[in-house]
Structure 1
Amino acid sequence: MAAALASSRCCCRPSLLPTGRGRRSVARCALSGEKRNSFSWKECALSVALSVGLITSPPTFGWSAHASPLEPVLPDISVLISGPPIKDPGALLRYALPIDNKAIREVQKPLEDITDSLKVAGVRALDSVERNARQASRALSNGRSLILDGLAESKRANGEELLDKLAVGLEELQRIVEDRNRNAVAPKQKELLNYVGTVEEDMVDGFPYEVPEEYSSMPLLKGRATVDMKVKIKDNPNVEDCVFRIVLDGYNAPVTSGNFIDLVERKFYDGMEIQRADGFVVQTGDPEGPAEGFIDPSTGKSRTIPLEVMVDGDKAPTYGETLEELGRYKAQTKLPFNAFGTMAMAREEFDDNSASSQVFWLLKESELTPSNANILDGRYAVFGYVTENEDYLADLKVGDVIESIQVVSGLDNLVNPSYKIVG
């Protein structure tokens, strides 16, 4: 299947996705093996028994090639049968916002459901899309006042304008369905969900919690930021230079996102090669020399950050321990490893708080590893998603070069930026 994507910022030519994208057995880390901070498999066992539940034997991670598996973990069976996981990065980011407004969610859900409606072949899908559009339109009409009440006061005028555009767009969507123009549905859906997402962002009034004192002086992203990562493809006749857009979520991972943005502003990743690309993850961030992470020139010491995981329903992230170590086997992570291109921090196997600069993007099909019933959620800090050109991550190879990572928006949400410190 051709994987050409429409993007004004990407020069990727149509190409076949490599078979490694769907591969479940994973090779060792493509690094030399001298770096303990590499994100490599030791063992993975996954068995599914639908009649009695699903038991996962999670692997351990590190650079060693052999280790004993951990004890089996029995996840909450309700998680496994609640429906297919949300894989769209935009939807994951919308649902991850720290808001509690039922009215806007009732508009959002049927618009999100259009994705599943379009899986039906031919124009028959339009019957479901029509129901989705009517449901969203009705929810907007009935809940408009509650939505406006949920907006931050300073953003109310912008919210009203967006709701007006949303109402007009929903009428346009219904006309698209009446004209039986299936090809026009997805672009209109994306437009409408962008309106919804912006309204939801306008409901967040300030940062919702205090970061623990021991981490409060670190670079923190108190909100969201967007970066563009431009990669120079060295040896792939199917792909030229490509720009990956990444949204970083500081609401759910302020320390992890702040650390990354701070390094981006230091140009730490510019000119760095892709150091692992094996069909399971794409990884980079290991600097030249003996150091396994970022050495702060102002202190001469390595900067590490704690493991940071936000659980759905919690008011603030947990720090320093995996959810498994905390015994929270039923906990749902706010930023799950669902989307192709989920971005997270690599760390040493036996040290939860050893992450520094090495990052990875997960390449996977999440039906085989349901959200919060897999080997990654709650063990590694997710802090963003690739939202444009993510499929082309599968075409990257070891040795391809990150030409630059640039902050597109949200830099004003970064506090305690260490890159501004002289020396």
Structure 2
Amino acid sequence: MGQLWNSIFHRFTLLVVGIIFSWGVMSMGWLNNDVGIGWAALPQGDAFTNPMSILRLALPVDSQAIHTIHQYLEEMPPQLDDPTARMQPKQWSEVGNQISKAIKTFNREASDLLSDIPTPYRPQALVRMNQINAALADLKILSDEQSKDLFVAKRTQAWNSIDLLAASMVPEYSVNIPEDYQTLPQLNGRAVVALDTSKGPITIMVDGYNAPITAGNFLDLVQREFYDDLTFTREDEAYVVQTGNPEGPQAGFIDPDTGQYRSIPLEVMVKGDSEAVYGATLEELGLSLSEPVLPFSAYGTVAMGHPQGDPNGGSSQFFFHLFEPDLTPAGLNLLDGRYAVFGYVIAGQEVLAQLQQGDLLRSAKVVDISPPNAFTFRYLDWILVQRLSSSLKGMA
């Protein structure tokens, strides 16, 4: 009876804390606070708190080999990811066994993996496969040497290469996007973005498979150097760090070609669907019980902010979810379906934890993308056509 009561009390505590967290987040300036709550309206499900696991399951790739290698890298002692914990020899032995299995699987499946990749993407894929092979070999050495910090960094590098290799297996992937949004930037794949902050480096894996417009808009602004030298804001009560608000009266990106504010729609991909939901929250559409493919269940979830009461008014401001994932499992927060998640921090979580009000985002750069033609921007094509047309008229 005591164990049952403890379990019930624990679940109730998680629910209350999750709701308090969500209300705190939505009290921020660009996070909507006009949300009603119904106890039965919360989606239920088991949460993945590891961003690697979430991103792996979000890949539109049916490759058992890729999933198996990913899992070998994910399923390791939790002490490995805890900077304050010490790894024991037995745990290092487990790590070494996992890496050996990953190496064996990769070597056995390498030729089949390459054959699954469309011909135009194979040159890039061969480079990634060499990177994976070298990284796995280094991981085995580091596990034997019990070098924790170097191992964790190299594992992230290996995981990135595997993830981007998998992204190149998807031929001409695209989500059916409403015509009204077709001229917005789109990312139909994955990209790695490196942030250089005044507290240190942070790496984000951006997922355009499940948030093509939100991810594409972010990548476009990164490439324009829009985020360089902007400051961070932090709300400790809301467990959120946010940036992307430019200096001056504007709250977002003003397109220099049109002089207009670029807004992007709320975009959420629901599990089991092949098309994202646009323009409305899941609650507004009567889909409160649905779970998004990219949930707020991992430390370092990256999402687009938007003005209060206007889910389609987001532009450049984005935020990091900082709360302990054990306190906001799937079904116990009010953020899923109300904000567009477009990526996760995959390295630099300790830096993210240190960011304070006024800290600087020195620069943001796209360091990798897969497949190589994943980023598209039809509006730029339209601008070029208009300029060419004007030039030809001037010559007539």
Equivalent in 292, 299, 304 of residue 340 of structure 1:
299
What is the SS of the residue equivalent to 2:366? strand
Q: Could you say which residue in structure 2 is the equivalent of 1:71?
A: 38
Equivalent in 213, 220, 223 of residue 179 of structure 2:
213
The offset of 1:168, in angstroms, is: 7.8
The offset of 1:172, in angstroms, is: 7.1
Q: Give the whole-Å Cα distance in 2 for the aligned partners of 1:263 and 1:164.
A: 31
Q: Give the whole-Å Cα distance in 2 for the aligned partners of 1:65 and 1:303.
A: 19
Change (3 A) 1:397 1:366: same
**CA contact under 8 A between 1:252 and 1:317: conserved in structure 2?**
yes
For 1:358-411, what per-residue CA distance to the aligned partner results, in whole angstroms no more than 9, with x for missing partners? Answer: 211221210110135322122111112233323212322323333333333449
Q: Could you say which residue in structure 2 is the equivalent of 1:281?
A: 240
For 1:225-278, what per-residue CA distance to the aligned partner results, in whole angstroms no more than 9, with x for missing partners? Answer: 3333333x4xxxxx5xx3333332222212112222333344333333224453
- TM-score, length of structure 2 as denominator length: 0.75
Q: Could you say which residue in structure 1 is the equivalent of 2:230?
A: 272
Q: What is the total number of aligned residue pairs between the two structures?
A: 363
Equivalent in 216, 219, 224 of residue 258 of structure 1:
216
One-letter amino acid of the counterpart of residue 201, structure 1:
A
Equivalent in 328, 343, 347 of residue 388 of structure 1:
347
Change (3 A) 1:124 1:147: same
For 1:326-405, list aligned pairs within 5 A. 326-405=285-364
**CA contact under 8 A between 2:255 and 2:262: conserved in structure 1?**
yes
What is the SS of the residue equivalent to 1:383? strand
Which structure has the highest helix share of the two?
2
Equivalent in 229, 241, 247 of residue 195 of structure 2:
229
Q: Could you say which residue in structure 2 is the equivalent of 1:114?
A: 76
Q: Give the whole-Å Cα distance in 1 for the aligned partners of 2:302 and 2:13.
A: 32
Q: Give the whole-Å Cα distance in 2 for the aligned partners of 1:402 and 1:202.
A: 30
For 1:112-164, what per-residue CA distance to the aligned partner results, in whole angstroms no more than 9, with x for missing partners? Answer: 10254847851121343355345545655665565444322344576577667
Change (3 A) 1:277 1:412: farther
Q: Could you say which residue in structure 2 is the equivalent of 1:318?
A: 277
Equivalent in 248, 262, 268 of residue 309 of structure 1:
268
- Higher mean alpha-carbon deviation, 291-300 vs 95-104, is at 291-300
Whether 2:251 is the aligned partner of 1:292: answer yes
Change (3 A) 1:150 1:67: closer
Runs of at least 5 residues in structure 1 that lack an aligned partner in the other structure:
1-46, 234-238
Q: Could you say which residue in structure 1 is the equivalent of 2:89?
A: 123
Equivalent in 103, 116, 133 of residue 65 of structure 2:
103
What is the SS of the residue equivalent to 2:271? coil
Q: Give the whole-Å Cα distance in 2 for the aligned partners of 1:187 and 1:404.
A: 21
Q: Could you say which residue in structure 1 is the equivalent of 2:375?
A: 414
What is the SS of the residue equivalent to 2:76? helix
Whether 2:43 is the aligned partner of 1:86: answer no
Q: Could you say which residue in structure 2 is the equivalent of 1:23?
A: none
The offset of 1:341, in angstroms, is: 2.5
The offset of 1:308, in angstroms, is: 0.6
The offset of 1:319, in angstroms, is: 0.8
- Higher mean alpha-carbon deviation, 395-404 vs 168-177, is at 168-177
**Share of identical aligned residues, percent?**
35
Q: Give the whole-Å Cα distance in 2 for the aligned partners of 1:164 and 1:65.
A: 46
**CA contact under 8 A between 1:286 and 1:292: conserved in structure 2?**
yes
One-letter amino acid of the counterpart of residue 176, structure 2:
E
Q: Give the whole-Å Cα distance in 2 for the aligned partners of 1:126 and 1:196.
A: 22
The offset of 1:94, in angstroms, is: 3.6
**CA contact under 8 A between 2:306 and 2:315: conserved in structure 1?**
yes
Q: Give the whole-Å Cα distance in 2 for the aligned partners of 1:262 and 1:401.
A: 20
**CA contact under 8 A between 1:336 and 1:371: conserved in structure 2?**
yes
CA RMSD of aligned residues (A): 3.9
**CA contact under 8 A between 1:249 and 1:383: conserved in structure 2?**
yes
Runs of at least 5 residues in structure 2 that lack an aligned partner in the other structure:
1-7, 388-396
Q: Give the whole-Å Cα distance in 2 for the aligned partners of 1:158 and 1:300.
A: 38
One-letter amino acid of the counterpart of residue 95, structure 1:
L
Q: Could you say which residue in structure 1 is the equivalent of 2:391?
A: none
**CA contact under 8 A between 2:305 and 2:318: conserved in structure 1?**
yes
- TM-score, length of structure 1 as denominator length: 0.70
One-letter amino acid of the counterpart of residue 375, structure 2:
L
**CA contact under 8 A between 2:49 and 2:299: conserved in structure 1?**
no
Q: Could you say which residue in structure 2 is the equivalent of 1:151?
A: 117
